[in-house]
């Protein structure tokens, strides 16, 4: 008799036989994401943002320096001294140190964590699938005579 097929007999009418569902829900598997992955993503994003801000600040400083150096000397000695002092200050500004090496290191760690996470999820899904298959009931058979059926 096929699953879900109705049985019609001499004494039993409208009996439907269904295969019971397994106790483990294979479809309910939810992959787990390691929280360290999101922490690394945020760290990488913050470092890149800090690098962009530092470069923007350095570019504006260098633009100001170029403008001050391009200015013609004026008749006002006080303004020339202030401009000369500012030029000296701006020339002392160093190129910002970028976090490229740290970002590359964090990206490597991120890829490793993602790979480990993916493998762990695949392993858990496979284990759940094996457990699900193991808990499946065998083929249902209707043999003998049914004297009492309790339907709840």
Domain annotation covers residue 148? no
Query: 76-80, long-range: CB within 8 Å, 24+ apart, which pairs?
Result: none
Output the CA–CA distances (angstroms, integers) from residue 126 to 82, 117, 130, 132, in the order listed: 73, 14, 6, 10
Domain annotation covers residue 1? no
User: DSSP states of 32-77 as a string?
Assistant: ---HHHHHHHHHHHHHHHHHHHHHHHHHHHHHHHHHHHHSPP-S-H
Q: Tens digits of per-residue pLDDT, 52-92?
A: 999 999 999 999 999 988 888 888 888 889 999 999 999 99
Domain annotation covers residue 15? yes
Q: Tens digits of per-residue pLDDT, 85-135?
A: 999 999 999 999 999 999 999 999 999 999 999 999 999 888 887 777 776
Provide the pLDDT confidence category of residue 147 given band limits of 50, 70 and 90: low
Structural domain total, the chain: 1
Range of the domain at 61: 6-135
Domain annotation covers residue 58? yes
Q: What is the rounded end-to-end Cα distance, in angstroms, of the chain? A: 23
Q: Tens digits of per-residue pLDDT, 5-52?
A: 555 556 665 666 665 554 455 566 778 888 999 999 999 999 999 999
CA-based R_g, the chain, Å: 37
Domain annotation covers residue 143? no
**3-state class percentages of the chain: helix first, strand second, coil last, to nearest 5:** 60, 5, 40
Tell if the pTM clears 0.75, that is, is over it: no
Domain annotation covers residue 152? no
Residue 1 has a pLDDT of: 46
Residue 75 has a pLDDT of: 84
Residue 28 has a pLDDT of: 63
Domain annotation covers residue 61? yes
Domain annotation covers residue 127? yes
């Amino acid at each position: 008799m096929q699953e879900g097929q109705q049985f019609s007999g001499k004494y039993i009418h409208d009996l439907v036989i269904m295969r019971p569902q397994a106790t483990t829900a294979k479809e309910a598997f939810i992959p787990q994401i390691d929280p360290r992955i999101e922490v690394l993503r945020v760290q990488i994003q913050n470092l890149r943002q800090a690098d962009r801000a530092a470069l923007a600040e350095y570019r504006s400083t260098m633009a100001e320096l170029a403008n001050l150096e391009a200015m013609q000397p004026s008749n006002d000695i006080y303004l020339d001294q202030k401009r000369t002092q500012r030029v000296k200050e701006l020339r002392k500004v160093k190129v910002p140190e970028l976090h490229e090496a740290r970002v590359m290191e964090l990206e490597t760690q991120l890829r490793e964590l993602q790979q480990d996470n993916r493998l762990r999820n695949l392993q858990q899904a496979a284990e759940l699938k094996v457990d699900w298959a193991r808990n499946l009931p065998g083929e249902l058979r209707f043999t003998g005579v049914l004297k009492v059926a309790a339907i709840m």
